[in-house]
């Protein structure tokens, strides 16, 4: 029997499907829809405006343009809300709620009668949440990113959230930017709607979605306020209607090969470390794993080609004008799986056959003259991180790549806040700062891995130190920062038992991170370690009971492909 379409899809079981359809159409008529429109294929538009999400300010306009495209192509557009996650407005961290949003998207796409869906998102966790949900619902889907912010100006300097937020705040902490100037900067960092203006997590994920082929070519980098973004929305609506006629499923687009292409894109753009987690979670929904050894091999053969902050100098508006994802893909072409299909049914090879009008080589370098000859991110292993850790070498200080240092340990986020700037903190520039209990189980994995340089060292001119934690780091941040240490401290990983004064060795060349204590001492300390108390009710309890570690993308165990019903 062929699958029911349009409003006939997924009728409520009353034992009389004609009655169920009659009832549904009656209620649809309450929205003023004509019978002719009710016969059309239905395209859902998942919308995420929220007064707690500045990045999504343009979602209503984009949704209207998507609906216009759907109507023009012969479909019936139906907007529906889902959870929206505005990075700066969520406590304890937006990461806690990515899986909640993914569940919302999956269930609402599956439960409501739509033949295809356009997913409008943008801020850091929203694009991965939508892709996780779409992969599990496996109904034809097009993703539309809201696009990045434009830059602001401050005393002749271009500013963009949020790399410049950090550099100005670091200067304020060091005493070189006073309170009056920092207040001025506050009003000049985030000056339009859209996602952060640099190659942070949001833009990285938009580039990944375009590379996977689930958003339209050429759309990842269009600024949020650009007319081309609205046109892309209209076109996304048209493509979604085409998908109702000739379905291409997310599971046909997100494959082991397209995920590897997406990893190459991540490395070539010097993208966010968070994308490693998100890509693992998206791929994990379809039974595709991300192997850290493979990541390192790909990283060693994929140069950084894009000169944007936080790795380089430019902003997303420059990347768009320079040629965007399409230009990077064309450089990477010999390294890519070209037979992956996109949401329009074309192979990546076919997509890349069309020549680009122009590429700004100041922003997007050729393979022969890269920003860095190796990829932006590496995975580390060793006694401190037996299941792995991540370092964004492209945004780190090479002089700190091969070092051994004394551990200065903070037991928790609260301990860090209480003591990092204490005048009597026993710390020197060549020490290694260690933060425990900021991983998924302990704290929902906030972006706390960018530990501040202790105030007394910052004032003395120290710009970077090796910092190690089980936390994440904002995609807009930089420094020699080892993240996602697994197993995390709260799961009883070696990180849990690091003590002040222990020696730690980092080798980016060998991709190792070692706690230099005898194995028997490590075992003795681990045997004495006690697990922290667990939350007992509500979403926090569900999260704590079921969240997987960073290498598995911090998804819930029952949402991965292994958690699926037979």
Minimum CB distance to ligand FES, residue 149 (Å): 8
Minimum CB distance to ligand FES, residue 524 (Å): 44
Minimum CB distance to ligand FES, residue 563 (Å): 29
Minimum CB distance to ligand FES, residue 124 (Å): 5
Q: Are 153 and 188 in contact (CB under 8 A)?
A: yes
Per the listing, tokens 């680009």 go with 356
Nearer to ligand FES, 211 or 274 (CB): 274
Does the footprint of ligand FES cover residue 261 (CB under 6 A)?
no
Q: Residues 77, 128, 200, 213: which binds ligand FES (CB under 6 A)?
A: 200
Question: What's the rounded Cα separation, in Å, for the pair 392 and 479?
Answer: 8
Minimum CB distance to ligand FES, residue 228 (Å): 19
Per the listing, tokens 């696009």 go with 147
Interacting residues of 551 by C-beta distance below 8 A, sequence separation 6+: 280, 290, 292, 387, 388, 484, 486
Residues within window 540-559 making contact with ligand FES, judged by CB under 6 A: none
Q: Are 507 and 400 in contact (CB under 8 A)?
A: no
For 116, the 3-state DSSP assignment is strand
Residues within window 87-146 making contact with ligand FES, judged by CB under 6 A: 87-88, 123-124
Site string for ligand FES, 58-97 (x = CB under 6 A): -----------------------------xx---------
For 247, the 3-state DSSP assignment is coil
Question: What's the rounded Cα separation, in Å, for the pair 300 and 374?
Answer: 5
Q: Are 135 and 288 in contact (CB under 8 A)?
A: no
Question: What's the rounded Cα separation, in Å, for the pair 512 and 533?
Answer: 31
Question: What's the rounded Cα separation, in Å, for the pair 384 and 496?
Answer: 10
Residues within window 146-165 making contact with ligand FES, judged by CB under 6 A: 162
Binding span for ligand FES by CB under 6 A among 34-42, 196-204, 421-429, 514-522: 196-204
Nearer to ligand FES, 195 or 412 (CB): 195
Nearer to ligand FES, 58 or 195 (CB): 195
Nearer to ligand FES, 193 or 496 (CB): 193
Task: Classify residue 49 by burial, with Cβ atoms within 10 Å: 0-12, 13-18, 19+.
Answer: middle
Residue 520 carries which DSSP code? Answer: H
Q: Which of 376, 381, 373, 379 lies closest to 396 in space, CA to CA? A: 376
Question: What's the rounded Cα separation, in Å, for the pair 328 and 559?
Answer: 33
Backbone angles phi, psi at 158, to 5 degrees: -75, 140
Site string for ligand FES, 176-195 (x = CB under 6 A): -------------------x
Site string for ligand FES, 318-357 (x = CB under 6 A): ----------------------------------------
Minimum CB distance to ligand FES, residue 368 (Å): 33
Nearer to ligand FES, 87 or 555 (CB): 87
Q: Which residues bind ligand FES (CB under 6 A)?
A: 55, 87-88, 123-124, 162, 195-196, 200, 202
């Amino acid at each position: 029997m062929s699958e029911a379409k349009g409003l006939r899809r997924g009728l409520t079981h009353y034992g009389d499907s004609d009655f169920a359809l009659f009832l549904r159409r009656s209620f649809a008529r309450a929205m003023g829809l004509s019978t002719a429109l009710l016969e059309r294929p239905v395209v859902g538009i998942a919308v995420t405006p929220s007064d707690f999400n500045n990045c999504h300010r343009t979602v209503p306009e984009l949704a209207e343009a998507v609906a216009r495209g759907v109507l023009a192509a012969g479909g019936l557009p139906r907007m529906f809300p889902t959870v929206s996650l505005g990075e700066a407005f969520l406590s304890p961290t937006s990461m806690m709620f990515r899986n909640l949003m993914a569940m919302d998207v999956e269930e609402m796409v599956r439960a409501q009668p739509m033949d295809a869906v356009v997913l409008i998102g943008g801020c850091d966790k929203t694009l991965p949440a939508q892709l996780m949900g779409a992969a599990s619902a496996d109904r034809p889907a097009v993703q539309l990113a809201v696009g990045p912010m434009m830059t602001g100006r401050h005393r002749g300097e271009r500013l963009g959230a949020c790399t410049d937020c950090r550099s100005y705040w670091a200067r304020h902490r060091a005493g070189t930017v006073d309170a009056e100037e920092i207040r001025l900067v506050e009003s000049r960092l985030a000056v339009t709607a859209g996602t952060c203006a640099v190659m942070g997590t949001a833009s990285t994920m938009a580039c990944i979605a375009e590379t996977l082929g689930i958003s339209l070519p050429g759309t990842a980098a269009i600024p949020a306020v650009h007319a081309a973004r609205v046109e892309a929305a209209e076109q996304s609506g048209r493509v979604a209607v085409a998908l109702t006629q000739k379905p291409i499923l997310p599971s046909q687009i997100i494959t082991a090969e397209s995920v590897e292409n997406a990893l190459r894109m991540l490395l070539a753009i010097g993208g966010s470390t968070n994308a490693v987690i998100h890509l693992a979670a998206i791929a994990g929904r379809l039974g595709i794993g991300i192997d850290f050894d493979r990541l390192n091999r790909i990283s060693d053969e994929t140069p950084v080609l894009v000169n944007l902050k936080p790795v380089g100098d430019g902003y997303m508006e420059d990347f768009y004008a320079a040629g965007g994802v399409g230009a990077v893909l064309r450089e990477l072409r010999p390294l890519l799986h070209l037979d992956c299909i996109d949401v329009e049914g074309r192979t990546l090879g076919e997509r890349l056959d069309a020549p680009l009008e122009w590429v700004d080589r100041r922003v997007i370098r050729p393979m022969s003259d890269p920003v860095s000859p190796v990829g932006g991110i590496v995975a580390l292993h060793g006694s401190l991180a037996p299941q792995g850790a991540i370092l964004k070498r492209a945004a780190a200080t090479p002089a700190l790549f091969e070092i051994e240092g004394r551990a200065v340990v903070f037991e928790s986020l609260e301990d860090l806040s209480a003591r990092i700037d204490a005048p009597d903190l026993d710390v020197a520039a060549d020490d290694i700062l260690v933060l425990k209990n900021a991983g998924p189980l302990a704290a929902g994995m906030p972006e706390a891995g960018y530990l501040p340089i202790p105030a007394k060292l910052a004032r003395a001119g120290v710009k970077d130190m090796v910092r190690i934690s089980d936390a994440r780091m904002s995609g807009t941040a930089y420094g020699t920062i080892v993240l996602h240490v697994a197993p995390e401290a709260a799961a009883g990983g070696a990180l849990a038992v690091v003590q002040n004064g222990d020696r730690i060795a980092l080798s980016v060349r060998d991709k190792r991170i070692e706690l230099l204590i005898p194995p028997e001492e490590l075992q003795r300390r681990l045997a004495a370690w006690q697990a922290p108390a667990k939350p007992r009710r509500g979403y926090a309890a569900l999260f704590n009971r079921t969240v997987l570690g960073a290498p598995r993308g911090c998804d819930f165990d029952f949402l991965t492909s292994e958690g699926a019903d037979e």
